[in-house]
Structure 1
Amino acid sequence: MTSRPQFFRFIFLAAITALGLWTIRHFWAALIWSVIIAIAFWPLWLRLKNALGPKHEKVLSPTVATITIGITLVLPFLFFGLEIMNDFQAAMHFFQDLKTQDAAPPEWLNKIPFINQNLVNKWHDFFSSNTQDSPSIHLAQVFNGNFINHGRAFGANIARRITTFFFMLMSLFFLFRSGTELQKMSINISRRLMGPDMERFAHQVVLSVRGTLDGLVLVGLGEGVLLGVIYVFTGTPHAVMFGGMTAIAAIIPFCAPIIFSIVAIILVAQGHIGAAITVIISGMVILLVADHVIRPILIGGATRLPFLWVLVGILGGIESFGLLGLFLGPALMAILMMVWRDVADGPDIQNEHAKNVQKDK
């Protein structure tokens, strides 16, 4: 029977833990991101630490690793962000010129069957320079009247994101610096609280995060690079911007067709039918190979899940946790599947899983 001092000690520890977690609630995203990045880059970190030697493993090695990762994460977003800003300004000038010139609809719009007349009427309504109630007028009013408010909100959001990013880098530095000690402490605590099974679950989370990084992020970037080359080859306007957008969209399975379909529509609008067909066919081939061959091998092999459950974990994770769900979703599904198999198969399969953990180490 639990004594009264032990009961109050448990209440005190639970209250302190809850209060501490609530205090740092705004930094949970940065902490989780730092853990995910540390798990993903841990093998490379070990190589760097061994190359620089034990003398520098507490300051120089984690500093170099953190700065390198920070630059690697910032430069692509900075580059594509500037490209998107420039292209957005060009698009706004383009629509403004169409509105002031009261431009006629393109010829291909009249060739679309069934809905061509409706589209032509919508074109005239949108770009009419004489109608006060035209959508283009309202669009201009939205951009002009609310620009300051949107700018303030955007600036505050950017400042918060930058603060979170630098806090994530600070956390990543200390994870690299004291990661081995933290790992040992976490294993000891998990064994005391939940027994040896927790180590298997933690090992599966590590495999899931690395498999998701390889299968989603790296494969998505590869899709973006390949399609970006095709955009340049077919004469797509702003090919670099669309290549970056394709890479970001391709991180989520089956989302890349949204971007290369838009590219094909733009090429059709310019009269380049052959180039549009090339983009569609090339995109479908790349998508078929990446999403149906490479990703199931990389993610399914690491998470030990059928790709259908991996996909459910990704989409459900994004809906529940945002961008973090890309990694948390598959990891949670992998743990859930492990628990299911343990209950269904009994202690023999648990011993087999434990041997696999030791083998992987």
Structure 2
Amino acid sequence: MIPRPPAVPPGPSPRVPPPGADMHSRRRMQRFASVALYTGLVLLALWVVRDFIPAVAWACVIATSLWPLFRKLERQPGLNGRTTIIATLLTIVIALLLVLPVGIGIAQAAAEAHDLAIWLHSVEQNGVPIPDFIANLPFGSEPVTHWWNTNLGQPLKASPAMKGLHGHEVVMFGRNFGIRAVHALMVFAFTLVTLFVIFQAGPSLSGAVLKGMRRAFGAESAQLAERMAAAVRGTVSGLVVVGIGEGVLLGIAYAVTGVPHATLLGLITAIAAMLPFCAPIVFCGAGLWLFLQGGTAGAIGLVVFGFAVVFIAEHFVRPVLIGNSTRLPFLLVLFGILGGAETFGLLGVFIGPALMTILMVLWTDFVR
């Protein structure tokens, strides 16, 4: 008789994973690896083109601010479908608007170069003569006169104030200035090229960007992008347009009061007025020059008129243009402009309000 094998006591049966569990885990790992790979490739690409990011950012800011004008020109009968012609025209206009002020400044400097060379030669041989108004100061006239005669009243080569300007330091300063000028010129050139490409791509580029944002971040991301674009356009209108207006008005005031080089000084004022509360530095300096030349009434009138223009622009016109387009409180607009300028430089003046718009949208969605 064949013996039977001993009975195996019943126990828990081993768990068999579902057929699709392993495939699901593998797909999740593949998705994670793909995200990591794409992120690494994007970061690597950004690192490769890091020197050109400012040019691309400037081109995006300019294109965003001029996009309504581009679409309006595109709908014109003679320009319908001719995006290359429109892109060329807009790029040339932007180039001229940026090059003309620099050209005027160089022309003014070249016109004054001869007189400046004569003055420098006289200063080198005889020193800087003390102004007459120092003797009429209500207090501090004697120490100021003593310091002036010791440091500036004698020939330039023997002046103690000029001993720190060694030849090597002057050469290094000139070299660094030249490097920065060449870098700024390259950024400007690549900005124009990028701007032309953005305009030439036209609606297809904007549609692709919005489609990609909807796919990556949802349908609400397109609305957020539109509000950011409105913030950039409002900032450009509030800063650039208002700054140009201030420069024109104060340029006329410079010409009326007899300040030399009124056109160049008006351009400098317009550039300074694009940053909040910077225009008074220019027209107060012009008023001080008028006062030292004996034009007390003209100096007072110029300073009062300048502060009136700046007050109206800063407290009424600019907040309305920026705040209405972005629906931001004035305090957030001010923080965005000043904080952006401190963090990103001049480019941050336009990026800051856009970031404040994102913050405002996220806060609004959170408290709903």
Fold match (TM-score > 0.5): yes
Aligned: 1:261 with 2:284: yes
Measure how far apart 1:109 and its partner are.
Answer: 1.3
Q: Do the aligned partners of 1:99 and 1:128 also contact (CA within 8 Å) in 2?
A: no
Q: Show the 5 A alignment for 1:1-361.
A: 3-51=28-76, 52-57=78-83, 59-84=84-109, 90=115, 93-94=118-119, 96-98=121-123, 100-102=125-127, 104-129=129-154, 134-138=159-163, 141-142=165-166, 146-344=169-367, 346=368
CA-to-aligned-CA distance 1:172-210 (integer Å, 9 cap, x gap): 111111131121222122112211221122111111111
Q: Do the aligned partners of 1:225 and 1:243 also contact (CA within 8 Å) in 2?
A: yes
Q: Hey, what's the Cα distance between the residues in 1 that align with 2:128 and 2:205?
A: 65
Q: Hey, what's the Cα distance between the residues in 2 that align with 1:32 and 1:103?
A: 46
Q: 1:252 to 1:99 in 2, by over 3 A?
A: same
Q: Hey, what's the Cα distance between the residues in 2 that align with 1:282 and 1:96?
A: 38
Aligned-partner residue type, residue 52 of structure 2: F
Aligned-partner residue type, residue 298 of structure 1: L
Measure how far apart 1:103 and its partner are.
Answer: 5.2
Q: What is the aligned-residue RMSD (CA, Å)?
A: 2.3
Q: Do the aligned partners of 2:340 and 2:352 also contact (CA within 8 Å) in 1?
A: yes
Q: 1:173 to 1:253 in 2, by over 3 A?
A: same
Aligned-partner residue type, residue 333 of structure 2: V
Aligned-partner residue type, residue 57 of structure 2: I
Q: Do the aligned partners of 1:87 and 1:238 also contact (CA within 8 Å) in 2?
A: no
Q: Secondary structure at the match of 2:31?
A: helix
Q: Which moved more, 1:313-322 or 1:72-81?
A: 72-81
Q: 1:88 to 1:308 in 2, by over 3 A?
A: farther
Q: 1:240 to 1:131 in 2, by over 3 A?
A: closer
Q: Hey, what's the Cα distance between the residues in 1 that align with 2:287 and 2:251?
A: 13
CA-to-aligned-CA distance 1:46-92 (integer Å, 9 cap, x gap): 233333333522x3222222222222221122222443565577557
Which residue is equivalent to 2:19?
Answer: none
TM-score by length of 1: 0.87
Measure how far apart 1:150 and its partner are.
Answer: 3.1
Measure how far apart 1:29 and its partner are.
Answer: 0.5
Structure 1 consecutive aligned stretches of length 4 or more whose deviation exceeds 4 Å = 84-93, 130-133, 144-147
Q: 1:188 to 1:330 in 2, by over 3 A?
A: same
Q: Hey, what's the Cα distance between the residues in 2 that align with 1:315 and 1:90?
A: 39
Q: Hey, what's the Cα distance between the residues in 2 that align with 1:213 and 1:131?
A: 46
Q: Hey, what's the Cα distance between the residues in 2 that align with 1:153 and 1:342?
A: 48
TM-score by length of 2: 0.85
Q: Hey, what's the Cα distance between the residues in 2 that align with 1:41 and 1:84?
A: 32
Q: Do the aligned partners of 1:49 and 1:61 also contact (CA within 8 Å) in 2?
A: yes
Greater helix share, structure number: 1
Q: Which moved more, 1:5-14 or 1:317-326?
A: 5-14
Q: Hey, what's the Cα distance between the residues in 2 that align with 1:202 and 1:125?
A: 62
Q: 1:56 to 1:200 in 2, by over 3 A?
A: closer
Q: 1:239 to 1:138 in 2, by over 3 A?
A: farther
Runs of 5+ in structure 1 lacking a partner?
347-361
Q: Secondary structure at the match of 1:253?
A: coil
Q: Hey, what's the Cα distance between the residues in 2 that align with 1:216 and 1:248?
A: 9
Q: Hey, what's the Cα distance between the residues in 2 that align with 1:191 and 1:131?
A: 67
Q: Hey, what's the Cα distance between the residues in 2 that align with 1:266 and 1:73?
A: 28
